[in-house]
Structure formats: structure tokens, C-alpha cells
Amino acid sequence: MRRDDKSKLGDAQDGSPSVHTARRASTLLDLSGQQRALLLALERRDSGLAKMYQGGLSVLLDTSNVDRFALCAHAIRELMEKLPEYLDVATSAQQLSLKSKVRELADAYMGMQKRSSCYVPPANWTGSIDYHLAKFLSSAGTFINWFIDHNPSRRQEIRNALDGLAGPGRALPNPLATMNVKTWESIRDFFQATSHHRKSTDELEFSQRLNALEQFLLDKLAPRTFDDFSEIDALLENEEGHA
């Protein structure tokens, strides 16, 4: 379900108030031409997505914040995870938690150890399969089948979201779409690990990963290429000068 309180701007014109707000924000923040272009492109698609991106950049640019990489990564991860929701793409597979499924299997295993006559501590198995062991093996089979089905479904949802971001009539052939999904997952995994403080990073690595995501999103949202993003800065400064 999409958020009820967000402002959809897929058909917004350049003169809309929220696009002007994004332009002012991109001026107040010390953003590159590429970042300005992406902020405006996200705003035109949905103001909620633009706010997540803008918030992450605001934290990143605050060099006095010792935890700025993790906090920015959290905002960027949210942007990536919430993207399907803001594009009306179903995310049933992505909403299923692997951790909860593993916990269910672990609970079943612990219960089976206590009840099955086939289990002899500390880790010996003997005799014919009894009811309790058979029940656990059935649970294990259900989990494995779920896991096998889950990953392809999850990746298909990501592909649907990326296709939706690009717009109608711009779906890629399967090989390129598969590469895009893998790229997306790699970038997402970096920001997720960084946001949870499971990965240490530095200015160079973080900038490279953020740059990769920005280019990826711009390719979808605004496929027209600019050899020099300073051209965008010049266009924005000229417009602001005549505002």
C-alpha cells in the first residue's frame, strides 16, 4: 500500500512548489551537479523519495558528525527499500523476513531435540525416525522450499520496481535486467551493512558507492546524459538568478 500522506509528483511541472523547494534545497546544500539533478528527478517522481535522499545528503555533508556515514547510509537504504512502495509495486516477497523463518525452524529443532527418542545428547542420532523427528524434517523441507522460491520472487520484485522507476516502455531485456538487479543488490547490501555498523568505511569508498547509486538512478529517471554536470549547475544558477 502506498502512503496516504505523501505527495505524488509524477506529472509535476517544473514550476510546481515542491520542485522549487528541491531547487532551493540543492542550492543550500553543497551538492554536485549530479546530486542536484537526482534530487530534482526524485522530486518530480515523488517528494517522499526526494526527502529521504536530501536527508541523507544533509547528514553526510555535516563533517562534524562522527557517525555521518552510518546515518546517511540509513537514509539511502530507506530510499532503496521504500522505492517499490512509492511506485505501487507489490513487495510481498521482500516483506517476508528470513530471520523470522530461521527462528521458526530453530524453535522446531530445539523442540524436536527435547521430544524425539532418536536424539541422544550431545549430538548423536539413532534408531528409526519417530513422530517428532519426522515433523521437524517436514518443517525443514518447507523452509528449504520457501527459501528456494523466495529469492527469485524477491529479485523479480526489485526488477519490477526498477522497471517502474524507468517508466512505461523502457523495460530492459532479461540479461540486462538481471545485471541491474545484481548491481542494485550489491549497492543496497553496502548501505545496509554500513547503516547497521557492521561495515567500516571511509570517505572515498562511501563516495564511490553513493556515486554509483546516483548514476544508476539517474539513468532510470533521467536517461538524457550530460558530459559535464556543471552544465546543470549553470542552468539552475541561471534560473535562480531570474527568480
* Secondary structure letter of residue 46 according to DSSP: B
Tell me: pLDDT of 110 over 90: no
Decide: pTM greater than 0.85.
Answer: no
What three-state secondary structure class fits 8?
strand
Q: What is the rounded average pLDDT of the residues 26-51? A: 85
| DSSP codes of every residue in 97-161 | -HHHHHHHHHHHHHHHHHH-TTEETTTEE-SS--HHHHHHHHHHHHHHHHHHHHHHHHHHHHHHH
> pLDDT (tens digit, 9 = 90+) per residue, 176-216?
888 888 899 899 999 999 999 999 999 999 999 999 999 98
Q: Which three cell numbers stand for residue 184?
A: 542494485
pLDDT value for 201: 96
What is the overall mean pLDDT for the chain?
77
pLDDT value for 199: 93
Q: Of 84-88, 158-162, 164-168, 230-234, give the range with the top mean pLDDT.
A: 158-162
Q: Which residue(s) pair with 75 in the sheet?
A: none
pLDDT value for 144: 78
pLDDT value for 7: 40
Tell me: pLDDT of 112 over 80: yes
pLDDT value for 92: 46
